[in-house]
């Protein structure tokens, strides 16, 4: 169930990023489609995951010090776990695709 949820969230995040990059550019529609970069999308996802992990770490420290509510700590750790699972799933799919390409006959 969690894997299904993280896949949906990853898909939604990819759509949001693609829409933001195409809306933010001043190019025409044809070049905006070509301007979307998979590497930038992955870099953004990794950066977001790093930020989520840092937030979860801060919330955990605040919870241990008694400065944060338990529900906030659990929510932050859960969000970090989902983000990390998403990045790992994307990485696994990229590696699988690369291996598939290597097996193609020339």
Tokens of 75: 């929510």
- In this predicted structure, what is the pLDDT of residue 40? 85
Q: pLDDT 10s digit of each residue in the chain, 106 long? A: 444 455 666 667 766 766 676 555 544 444 445 566 888 888 888 889 999 999 999 999 999 999 999 999 999 999 999 999 988 998 899 999 999 999 998 7
* DSSP code per residue over the chain: -HHHHHHHHHHHHHHHHHHHHHHH--S-HHHHHHH--HHHHHHHHHHHHHHHHHHHHHHHHHHHTT-S-HHHHHHHHHHHHHHHHHHHHHHHHHHHHHHHHHTS--
- In this predicted structure, what is the pLDDT of residue 29? 45
Distance in angstroms (rounded) separating the CA atoms of residues 43 and 66: 34
- In this predicted structure, what is the pLDDT of residue 6? 59
pTM of the model: 0.61
């Amino acid at each position: 169930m969690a894997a299904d949820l993280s896949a949906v969230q990853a898909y939604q995040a990819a759509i949001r990023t693609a829409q933001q990059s195409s809306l933010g550019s001043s190019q025409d529609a044809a070049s905006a489609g070509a301007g979307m970069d998979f590497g930038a999308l992955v870099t953004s996802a990794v950066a977001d995951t790093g930020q989520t992990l840092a937030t979860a770490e801060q919330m955990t420290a605040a919870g241990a010090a008694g400065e944060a509510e338990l529900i906030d700590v659990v929510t932050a750790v859960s969000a970090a776990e989902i983000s990390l699972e998403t990045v790992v799933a994307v990485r696994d799919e990229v590696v699988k695709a690369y291996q598939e390409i290597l097996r193609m006959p020339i």
